[in-house]
Amino acid sequence: VLDAVTQAASKTIGEACVAWLLSEDGNQLIPESLYHPDQPVRDALREALAVQLAIRDGVTGQVVRTGKALFAPQPAQAQIEMLFGSGYQSPVHSTQVNSLMIVPLTVEGKTTGTLVLTRARPGHPYVEDDFKFFRSLADRAGIAIANVRLYQNLAKALQQEQTLRRQLIQAEKNLALNRMVASVAHEINNPIQTIVNCLYLLRTAVSTEGPDREALDMATSETRRIAGLVQQLRDLYRPGQDKSMCPLEVKEILKEVHKLLLTHLQQHQVAWEAQDIPAGLVFNGIPDHIKQVFLNICLNAVDAMDPDGGKISVKAALDAPSYQVGIAITDTGPGIPPEYLDRLFEPFFTTKTTGTGLGLAITFDIVQSHGGRITVENQPGGGATFTVWLPVL
């Protein structure tokens, strides 16, 4: 917007136009845009004006402080010397300013900067109409800037809304699937127990050696595996389960997770780095479930870095305004292909030949039932970060 404004002012009224914006603290002016029809002059000006101006004194600063525009068709020498204030050697040589106009830049009723227009050509002072036009240009620039800001805020709000909506949809989907998984697991459990018992009886009838026994052993161990999986599903998706919550400390939980993973990490040449985990961050949780969350994420990280190994970095920090602790787990693997980002938490989504695709779906549900949320992002240098947010006590 400002580039268009400085250019328009320079081309229609004449010569050098500079737009200054107030710094965050409101004490300095920073050159934001500049235009002069001659390229070499423009470059020289740009170099000369690579400064920050204090607004406390100086002619430009005064316009910003008071909000009153300055129309000086034939400025006094003192005005030119004090154009930028006492602290600055005016980079604009006095002969370069034979006529001067400065208007405040107001966005939504607040002065946020200023536009300065100068003419070097002697004998052609600015006239009243120039001043009027310049002021209306500044007014319109203020409105345009306000619109841009509005649009930016809107875009941000929209993005937040979309993230929230996506999480809600995911939670909805998972809830429906949970019910199905729970009932299927329940129905499968009984026949499996029967099969396990039958296999046990058969084993006593078959000789301890030979191919029959081998086949029977294999059937037994595979059935046990299924029984284990079904049991796990039943535990997690039992409706109305009443596993009691208790206060847990982030640092302690992460220590225990590390302990559980130690051998696995060594076997896969994965280093563990948990730096500066603040003590005293406490949240309410079901210990086994919470550990399962971090185990699932870490096991995936190890898988992702296979076979070369790598590093898992764990960080935790309190987000004071939201009373939430964020626990971030980053790996040095290849990261997650963007087209999969939306599907990771779906039950049975897996890219592994031996995966069930339940790890992250279960993780999502546990975090959700703890009043938290989980986010995932790829790191610019490769690797993925899973962040679990939980409300602190």
Residue 301 makes contact with ligand ATP by CB under 6 A:
yes
Interior CA angle at 250 toward 244 and 252, to 5°? 90
| Rounded Cα distance, 32 and 6, in Å | 10
| Rounded Cα distance, 185 and 230, in Å | 5
- Give the one residue of 344, 366, 374, 390 binding ligand ATP; rule: CB under 6 A: 344
- In sequence order, what E strands does the chain have? 16-22, 28-35, 53-54, 70-72, 99-107, 110-119, 246-249, 270-274, 282-285, 310-319, 324-330, 373-378, 384-391
- Give the one residue of 58, 142, 333, 372 binding ligand ATP; rule: CB under 6 A: 333
User: How many CA atoms within 13 Å lie on the side-chain side of 384?
Assistant: 21
- Subset of 346-375 contacting ligand ATP (CB under 6 A): 349-352, 355-361
Binding letters toward Mg ion, positions 280-319, x by CB under 5 A: --------------------x-------------------
Options 33-41, 213-221, 263-271, 330-338: segment touching ligand ATP (CB under 6 A): 330-338
Residue 296 makes contact with ligand ATP by CB under 6 A:
yes
Nearest to 42 by CA among 66, 16, 21: 16
Closest to ligand ATP by CB, 40 vs 337, is: 337
Q: What is the CA radius of gyration of the chain?
A: 34
* Cis amide leading into 122 (omega within 30): no
Q: Among Mg ion, ligand ATP, none, what binds residue 350 when CB lies within 5 to 8 Å by partner kind?
A: ligand ATP
- Give the one residue of 14, 113, 283, 331 binding ligand ATP; rule: CB under 6 A: 331
- Subset of 350-379 contacting Mg ion (CB under 5 A): 359
Alpha helices in 83-210 (DSSP H): 128-205
Closest to Mg ion by CB, 84 vs 237, is: 237
Residues with Cβ within 8 Å of residue 149, at least 6 apart in sequence: 107
Closest to ligand ATP by CB, 61 vs 383, is: 383
Residues with Cβ within 8 Å of residue 68, at least 6 apart in sequence: 62, 104
**Minimal CB distance to ligand ATP: which residue?**
359
Q: 271: which 2 tokens?
A: 């280093």
Options 125-133, 198-206, 220-228, 296-304: segment touching ligand ATP (CB under 6 A): 296-304
- For the CA atoms of 57, 106, 26, 73, the dihedral, rounded to the nearest 10 degrees, stands at -20
Provide the minimum distance between the beta carbon of 353 and ligand ATP in the complex, in angstroms, as a whole number.
9
- Subset of 304-323 contacting ligand ATP (CB under 6 A): 304
Closest to ligand ATP by CB, 37 vs 355, is: 355
Provide the minimum distance between the beta carbon of 273 and ligand ATP in the complex, in angstroms, as a whole number.
15
Provide the minimum distance between the beta carbon of 187 and ligand ATP in the complex, in angstroms, as a whole number.
21
> Is residue 388 within 8 Å of residue 372, measured between CB atoms?
yes
Provide the minimum distance between the beta carbon of 357 and ligand ATP in the complex, in angstroms, as a whole number.
4
Q: Which residues contact Mg ion by CB under 5 A? A: 300, 359
Q: Which residues contact ligand ATP by CB under 6 A? A: 296, 300-301, 304, 331, 333, 336, 344, 349-352, 355-361, 384
